[in-house]
Amino acid sequence: MKFENVKFIFGGLIGNNAYDVEVNGDVISAITPACKKENCNYVTLPYIDVHTHGGAGHDVSELTKEALDAIGDYLLYNGIGAYLPTFVATPLGKLDEMFLKLRNLSPSGAEILGAHIEGPYISLAKKGAQPAANILTAYDPKDAVFFEKNKDILKIVTLCPATKNAPLLVKTLVGNGIKAEAGHDDSVDTEIIECMKNGLDGATHIYCASSGFRRLKGSIEKHLGLNECALLFDEIYTEVIADGVHISENLFDFIYKNKGYRKIILVSDSLAPAGAPCGKYLLGDDTPVITDGTAAYLEDKSALAGSVTNVAKTVENVVSYGVPLAHAVYAATETPRKYLSLPYDALSCGSTASFNVLDEKGKLLHVVNRGRTVR
């Protein structure tokens, strides 16, 4: 297998020289200077999605091999080499059972890196499509047993910093090697900062069910919300759903110019209808959602429920907004790896042959996974 006249994208930069890349078995066997110099394509690391609820007609909470095979194959075909199945607010006892199932499955397609849970410690006022009955407004220190037990599989927990005992929750998560992200919140800067002091360093899909600048009731004091704090504080990694519906072109431009690509994580927040026909689906176990092909909504269209996109499409979108291709690629490849502390390096001769090939507009052309052409 050979890909001719390609440049490598790594570290937020496009390499100066074009190469021909040969693959034998499951490794890159040769990288030689290309004869042609114009009309190059671009080779990148596989994308990672740290926030997806499903696709190909299935929700991750189904937790069957059939469902996760379909989701994994759909993601891999779209250049996502690895992902975090993301679960809506769910009782901890039930999550215990779900994680046991997840550990025992070995689905095809994109690699499962662990799990991401939104809640149950989130705001009722900012729940979006999350099931209200499962939301907890206070963290009980006794719940620490759950996080200790599941620290092998649980990678991210989205929480509201206004939750009672939220700083203790963050401390518990970080102490178990689990990332704490603020999201689905009605918190203010003082609460967010207290959580940051205990290790919170992520923001879940900002400008989507997240708090903004406001005055507290009965006070003239003005407070920043999560949207502003995510942009203000350099240490916060920031998820963005760049599907053109959750986040418009102008809003993405605002985020990009204020945050910088090195702390933006492009995510899909996709639901079951991603890569599937328009119609009615489930989010989690029992929340009906509908899609018209542009996004997924609650049945009454009172709220967005999630997207029907994938990370590859978000890369293409932000490039169309004017973001440099190398910056868009970084936000889909290196930022999530850094955030999750995953080891990685530039592709070179002898590397495992897993990579994406894009055109100059960020459109995904080819996907190679362990030496096998997937797309």
367: enclosing H helix or E strand: strand 364-369
The pLDDT value recorded for residue 35 is 85
Q: With 80 as the cut, is the pLDDT of residue 52 above it? A: yes
The pLDDT value recorded for residue 218 is 79
Q: Are 145 and 121 in contact (CB under 8 A)?
A: no
Q: With 90 as the cut, is the pLDDT of residue 202 above it? A: yes
Mean pLDDT rounded to a whole number for the chain: 97
Handedness of CA 9, 358, 71, 73 (dihedral sign): negative
| Cβ neighbours around 373 below 10 Å, total | 11
Express as a percent the part of the chain with pLDDT over 70.
Answer: 100
Q: Are 95 and 87 in contact (CB under 8 A)?
A: yes
pLDDT digits (tens, 9 = 90+) for 256-276: 999 999 999 999 999 999 999
Higher pLDDT among residues 195 and 301, named by residue? 195
Dihedral of CA atoms 323, 296, 130, 125 in degrees, nearest 10, equals 70
Tell me which fold the domain 46-343 belongs to: TIM Barrel (3.20.20)
The three-class DSSP label of residue 92 is: helix
| Cβ neighbours around 349 below 10 Å, total | 12
Q: With 80 as the cut, is the pLDDT of residue 22 above it? A: yes
Average pLDDT on 99-109 reads 97
pLDDT digits (tens, 9 = 90+) for 271-329: 999 999 999 999 998 899 999 999 999 998 888 999 999 999 999 999 999 999 999 99
The pLDDT value recorded for residue 38 is 81
Alpha-carbon distance 3 to 357, whole Å?
9
Which pair of tokens denotes residue 343?
Answer: 């080891």
- What residue spans in the chain does CATH classification 3.20.20.140 cover? 46-343
pLDDT digits (tens, 9 = 90+) for 30-48: 999 998 778 899 999 999 9
The pLDDT value recorded for residue 364 is 98
Does this model's pTM top 0.95?
Answer: yes
Q: Are 203 and 158 in contact (CB under 8 A)?
A: no
Average pLDDT on 54-62 reads 98
Which pair of tokens denotes residue 319?
Answer: 């490039």
DSSP count for the chain of H helices, then E strands: 9, 25
| pLDDT tier, 9 (very low <50, low <70, confident <90, very high otherwise) | very high
Alpha-carbon distance 273 to 290, whole Å?
8
3-state helix, strand, coil in the chain (%, to 5): 30, 30, 45
Alpha-carbon distance 169 to 29, whole Å?
48
How distant, in Å, are the alpha carbons of 81, 94, 103, 152, 318 from that of 99? 21, 9, 6, 10, 34
Long-range Cβ pairs for the range 365-374 (8 Å, 24+): 365/41, 366/3, 367/46, 367/76, 367/77, 367/78, 367/79, 368/1, 368/23, 369/46, 369/76, 369/81, 370/26, 371/1, 371/23, 371/24, 371/25, 371/26, 371/27, 372/26, 373/1, 374/76, 374/77
Alpha-carbon distance 286 to 80, whole Å?
27
pLDDT digits (tens, 9 = 90+) for 204-223: 999 999 999 988 877 888 99
